Amino acid sequence: MIMSCGRTRRLLWPEAGPREATAEVVAAREHAAGCEACRRFLDDMEQIGERVGRIALRPTAPAEVRDRLFKAIARARTATGGPPRATRLRQLFIAGVAALLFVGLSWLGYVTIRGESGATDELGPIVEDQLRAQKGAGLASSDSLQVAQWLGERLPFAVQVPIFPEARLTGARLLVYNRQAGAVVEYLVQSRVLTYYVLPGGGGGFARQVQLASRDGYRVASWHDAGLTHALVGTLPGPKLVEFARYCMHQMMATQVTSPRSGSSA
Contact footprint for Zn ion (CB under 5 A): 5, 35, 38
Residue 38 vs 161, nearer CB to Zn ion: 38
CB of 16 to Zn ion, least distance (A): 19
Count CA atoms closer than 13 A to 166's CA, side-chain side. Answer: 12
171 Cβ contact partners less than 8 Å away, ≥ 6 residues apart: 16, 138, 139, 140, 141, 142, 147, 185, 186
Cα 135 from chain centre: 12
For the chain, give the number of residues.
Answer: 266
Phi, psi for residue 212 in degrees, rounded to 5: -120, 120
Asked whether the beta carbons of 111 and 120 are under 8 A apart, the reply is no
Residue 20 vs 30, nearer CB to Zn ion: 30
Residue 35 vs 194, nearer CB to Zn ion: 35
CB of 234 to Zn ion, least distance (A): 26
Residue 35 vs 199, nearer CB to Zn ion: 35
Residue 5 vs 113, nearer CB to Zn ion: 5
Q: How many other C-beta atoms lie within 10 A of the C-beta of residue 18?
A: 7
Tally DSSP H helices, then E strands, for the chain: 8, 7
Cα angle 9, 83, 89 (rounded to 5 degrees) comes to 95
CB of 35 to Zn ion, least distance (A): 3
CB of 132 to Zn ion, least distance (A): 26
CB of 75 to Zn ion, least distance (A): 18
Residue 5 vs 181, nearer CB to Zn ion: 5
CB of 233 to Zn ion, least distance (A): 28
Q: How many other C-beta atoms lie within 10 A of the C-beta of residue 255?
A: 10
For the chain, give percent helix, strand, coil, nearest 5: 45, 20, 30
